[in-house]
Amino acid sequence: MPAWIKNAPAAAYLIAALVFIYLPVVVLVVFSFQDGLLPVPPFNGPSLQWYEKMFANERLMDSLLNSVVVAISSALVTTVLGFLAAYGMARRKPRFAGSIRFVLMAPLTVSYLIIGIGLLITLNIVGIPKSLFAVGIGHVVINLPLCFAIIYSQFGDHLRNIDWAARDLGAGDFHTLTRVIAPIMKPSLFASFCLSATLSWDEFIIAFLLSRFEVTMPVIIFEMLRAGLTPEVNAAGTMVFAISMVTVGIAAVVMVLNYGVKK
Amino acid sequence: MSPSSAQMKRRAGFDFTRWAIHPALIFTVVFFALPLTAMVVVSFWQRVYGKLTATWTLANYSKFFAKDYLLDALLNSIEVTLATTAISILLAYPLAYILAYRIPAHWQRFVLILTVLPFWTAYVVRSYSWLLVISEKGILNVMLMDIGLINEPLAMSYSRGATVLGFVHFFTMLLTLTIYANLVQIKSSYRKAAADLGASPLQVFLRITLPLSLPGVAVGAFITFVICIGDYITPQILGGGTEVLIPQAIMLQVSRAANFPMASVMSITLMVVVVAVYFISAKHLKMERV
């Protein structure tokens, strides 16, 4: 039997799977360039009118700015906390290391919805109003386990020795961390910053529950969805997708260039 | 190794490395563990004239298990989540298998990235994109009518099937990733040895590859279960109000009624279900293998 016949079912399945996976993405992107009122066939385009309309939509652009601020600030806090925790864990191998890891990783097993409701109830009891700041806190909670795990996985034993060497040469805590350890860890710090910024940028339910007047972009897009199918949502969705891909792409390239392809 | 002079010095006074873990630990306790504890406490509180009051009661729990529409939401969610998990595994396994064993090694990474790229599609818009495909005037109906397979557009959107479709699309990518990661770790020598000993390709698969890949399936299935059962957007957009799933029921309690005790009861029930599933699947959940 020739090889191509043997491989034909596998190739057919792969192609069918890729069509299934890409169908909604392609439809979303293509009909964001629709020249007409509805993002359904026939396609009359391409036209940039819906992108123009999107950039003229003040509420959407305000929320875009909010999203960027929340994403960058929450990712910064997440990365710093994750880095310190990973450093402490790797450098000292503390007692109760198992329990500490359990606590740090626990938020991964709870739905975002429940984390959001818990924070909402807490705000309510303490009497703090909802705000973008609260959204940022929520995003640090959900992203910290991932960042900690990524950074911790790159802490090898060689770093312990480098840490000791730095201290023997007279560096204090602060200088050891900022001038020696952090520069060595830069690629994974950068990758975990990009990853948590992307996840925050795209997060909906916590942002929806914990924000009030100032909201993030996914919340506004969700409001726009109530108006039904419109190419403006396609344009907004395409933009969110593009920005996520660029950020994740940069992180992936940095990781691969610095640590090589791990298999 | 004898302690260096720096270590000796550190014995006395403030030791920074010991405290480096604490910011993250304290943050997680304050903003994760405490809110969940508050939720448990509030689930035993009462609401008097719309205000939370700290009088202890079990009424919220008995109400939840007495009201059919609340309990139904939980059962609907479990059904949808189980269907999603099962279908996603069935679709993802062959895909991961083809990626791991049929694609030449130097192409694998590229095809894998290609397969999971739409993972990063904007979350709120993901379900909406499926609406574009399956709605009455959507591309699927138009295509089916063009080739003459149907005369009238099919009503596919706004149903449980549509919700499951949206979920399956996302979780097939996720499961492909976890199963693939497991498959490429199985040594090819096992399969060769089995074949040398006379096993047919089917026997090799059933008795070597499949059992050894179950941890990857279990981890992916568990993550699928956790994310799927807690997802609000997908049933809200694709389900179209034909039935209510538990996240929608929770959101209704929060947004319409501001009934935090009932929302807490439902959230806790949801967590209990997830923990139960964790213990059921714990036997196979060896995270380090994936």
Looking at residue B287, what is its pLDDT?
A: 53
Confidence of residue B13 (pLDDT cuts 50, 70, 90): low
> According to the model, what pLDDT value does residue B166 have?
94
Considering only the beta carbons, identify the residue of A85, A120, A229 that sits closest to B131: A229
Tell me which of A1, A122, A126 to substitute to probe the interface with B (most B C-beta atoms closer than 10 Å): A122
Tell which B residues from 38 to 67 touch A, by Cβ distance under 8 Å. Answer: 38-39, 42, 52
Measured over the CA atoms of residue B42, residue B45, residue B46 and residue B50, the dihedral's sign is negative
Reference B113, options A247, A39, A129, A245; nearest CA is A245
The pLDDT value recorded for residue B12 is 46
A19, A23, A140: best mutation site toward chain B, by most B Cβ within 10 Å?
Answer: A23
Number of domains in chain A: 1
Taking the CA of residue A159 and the nearest CA in chain B, the distance in Å comes to 13
B226 interface with A at CB cutoff 8 Å: yes
**CATH at residue A180:** 1.10.3720.10
- At A6 the pLDDT is 67
Domains, in order of start, for chain B: 62-289 (1.10.3720.10)
Percent of chain A with pLDDT over 70: 96
Instruction: Output the average pLDDT for chain B.
Output: 86
DSSP at B2:
P
Over residues B33-41, mean pLDDT: 95
Put simply, the answer to whether A40 touches B135 (Cβ < 8 Å) is: yes
Any A CB within 8 A of B229 CB: yes
* Contact between chains at B24 and A41 (C-beta distance less than 8 A): no
* Nearest-Cα residue of chain A relative to residue B170: A21
Is A45 domain-assigned? no
Q: Chain B interface, mutation test: which of A50, A84, A146, A216, most B Cβ atoms within 10 Å?
A: A84
Farthest-apart Cα atoms in chain A, separation = 74
Mean pLDDT of the residues in chain A: 88
Measured between beta carbons, the chain A residues lying within 8 angstroms of B267 are: 113-114, 117-118
Percent of chain B at pLDDT exceeding 90: 43
Tens-place pLDDT, residues A154-209: 887 778 888 888 888 888 888 888 888 888 888 889 989 999 999 999 999 999 99
Task: State the pLDDT at residue A189.
Answer: 92
Asked whether residue A39 is assigned to any structural domain, the reply reads no
A105 close contact with B: CB closer than 8 A:
no
Q: Which of A156-160, B1-5, B192-196, B216-220 has the lowest mean pLDDT?
A: B1-5
| Per-residue pLDDT at B14 | 61
pLDDT of B180 > 60? The answer is yes
- Over residues A102-154, the pLDDT tens digits come to 999 999 889 999 999 999 999 988 989 999 999 999 999 999 999 999 999 88
pLDDT score of A3: 62
Q: DSSP states of chain A as a string?
A: --HHHHHHHHHHHHHHHHHHHHHHHHHHHHGGG-SSSSSSSS------HHHHHHHH-HHHHHHHHHHHHHHHHHHHHHHHHHHHHHHHHHHH--TTHHHHHHHHHGGGGS-HHHHHHHHHHHHHHHTPPP-HHHHHHHHHHHHHHHHHHHHHHT--HHHHHHHHHHHHTT--HHHIIIIIIHHHHHHHHHHHHHHHHHHHHH--HHHHHH-SSS--HHHHHHHHHTT---HHHHHHHHHHHHHHHHHHHHHHHHHHHHH----
Q: How far apart are the CA of B280 and the nearest CA of chain A, in angstroms? A: 15
| pLDDT one-digit tens code per residue, A17-68 | 999 999 999 999 988 888 877 787 777 878 888 888 889 889 999 999 999 9
Partners of A91 on chain B (C-beta within 8 Å) are 17, 20
Q: Is the pLDDT at B290 greater than 50, yes or no?
A: no
Query: Residues B88-131: pLDDT tens digits?
Result: 999 999 999 999 988 888 888 888 888 888 888 888 889 999 99
Is A114 an 8 Å CB contact of chain B?
yes
> Nearest C-alpha of chain A: how many angstroms from B168?
10
* Lowest pLDDT segment from A94-98, A259-263, B75-79: A259-263
Are B109 and A121 a contacting pair at CB < 8 A?
no
Residues 125-144 (B) with a CB less than 8 A from some CB of A: 125-126, 128-133, 135, 137-139, 142
Q: Which pLDDT score is estimated for A262?
A: 46
What ipTM score was computed for the predicted complex, to two decimals?
Answer: 0.88
Residue of A92, A141, A218 with shortest CB distance to B17: A92
Chain centroid offset of residue A112 CA: 13
Calculate how close chain A gets to B68, using CA atoms only, in Å.
22
In a domain, A195, yes or no: yes
pLDDT at A135: 96
| Residue A133: domain span | 59-259
Residue among B154, B85, B157 at smallest CA distance from B128: B157
Token output for A199: 């996840």
